[in-house]
Structure 1
Amino acid sequence: MGSVQRAMRLLEAVAEHAYGAPAKQLAREVGLALPTAYHLLRTLTHEGYLRREKGLFFLGEAAERLGATAAQQKRRSMVNDALAQWRDSIGVPVYYAVYREGEIEVLGVAAGPDGPAVGEWADFRETGHAHALGQCLLSQLDEEARHDHLDRYPVHPLTPYTVRDNRSLERRLERLGPMEAVVECQEYALGAACAAIPLTAGTTAAAVAISLPSHQADRLLPAARQLQAETGRLLGTLAFSISI
Structure 2
Amino acid sequence: MRQSSPTHTLSTGERILRALQLIVERQPDISVKELAMELGVSLSTAYHLVHTLVAAGYVVAEPHRSLRPGPVLFRLLEHMQPRPTQLEGYRPLVDEVGRMTGCRAYLATWSDRDVEVVYIHGRRGVRELPGLTRGFRGAAHALALGKILLAGRTAVEWPPYLLNESLPRFTPYTLCRRAVLERELAMVRASAVAFDREEYALGSTCIAVPLRTTEGIAQAALGISVPTRRFQVERDMLVALLRQLSLPEGLSAPNEE
The TM-score bracket by the shorter chain reads 0.5 to 0.7
Q: Distance in 2 between matches of 1:124 and 1:196?
A: 16
The one-letter code matched in structure 2 to 1:236 is A
Structure 1: which 5+ residue stretches go unaligned?
1-68
C-alpha spacing 1:149/1:157, structure 2 compared with 1 (3 Å): closer
Q: Distance in 2 between matches of 1:103 and 1:217?
A: 27
Instruction: Give yes or no for contact 1:137–1:207 (8 Å, CA) kept in 2.
Output: yes
Q: Distance in 2 between matches of 1:120 and 1:185?
A: 17
- Alignment deviations for residues 172-223 of structure 1 (CA, whole Å, 9 cap, x no partner): 1123344521112110001100011122125454211111111212223321
Q: Which of the numbers 228, 231, 234 marks the counterpart of 1:217?
A: 231
Q: Distance in 2 between matches of 1:176 and 1:132?
A: 10
Match of 1:193 in 2: 205
Q: Distance in 2 between matches of 1:167 and 1:147?
A: 16
Give how far 1:101 is off: 2.8
Q: Distance in 2 between matches of 1:153 and 1:225?
A: 34
Question: How many equivalent pairs are there?
Answer: 169
> Secondary structure of 1:85's partner?
helix
Match of 2:55 in 1: none
Match of 2:107 in 1: 96
**Within the alignment, does 1:236 sit opposite 2:248 as a pair?**
no
Give how far 1:149 is off: 6.5
Give how far 1:104 is off: 1.3
1:118-197 → structure 2 map (5 Å cutoff): 118-120=129-131, 124-146=136-158, 150-151=162-163, 155-197=167-209
Give how far 1:109 is off: 0.8
Q: Distance in 1 between matches of 2:127 and 2:238?
A: 16
Q: Distance in 2 between matches of 1:153 and 1:120?
A: 25
Give how far 1:127 is off: 0.8
Structure 2: which 5+ residue stretches go unaligned?
1-81
Q: Distance in 2 between matches of 1:143 and 1:136?
A: 14
1:9-88 → structure 2 map (5 Å cutoff): 72=85, 76=88, 78-88=89-99
Q: Distance in 1 between matches of 2:120 and 2:165?
A: 23
Give how far 1:153 is off: 11
What is the aligned-residue RMSD (CA, Å)? 3.1
Match of 2:57 in 1: none
- Percent identity for Structure 1 against Structure 2: 23
C-alpha spacing 1:101/1:153, structure 2 compared with 1 (3 Å): farther
Q: Distance in 1 between matches of 2:196 and 2:180?
A: 14
> Secondary structure of 1:216's partner?
helix
Structure (1/2) with the larger helix percentage = 1
Q: Which of the numbers 126, 130, 135 marks the counterpart of 1:115?
A: 126
C-alpha spacing 1:147/1:115, structure 2 compared with 1 (3 Å): closer
C-alpha spacing 1:179/1:199, structure 2 compared with 1 (3 Å): farther
Instruction: Give yes or no for contact 1:179–1:197 (8 Å, CA) kept in 2.
Output: no
Max radius of gyration: which structure?
1
The one-letter code matched in structure 1 to 2:223 is A
Give how far 1:116 is off: 3.1
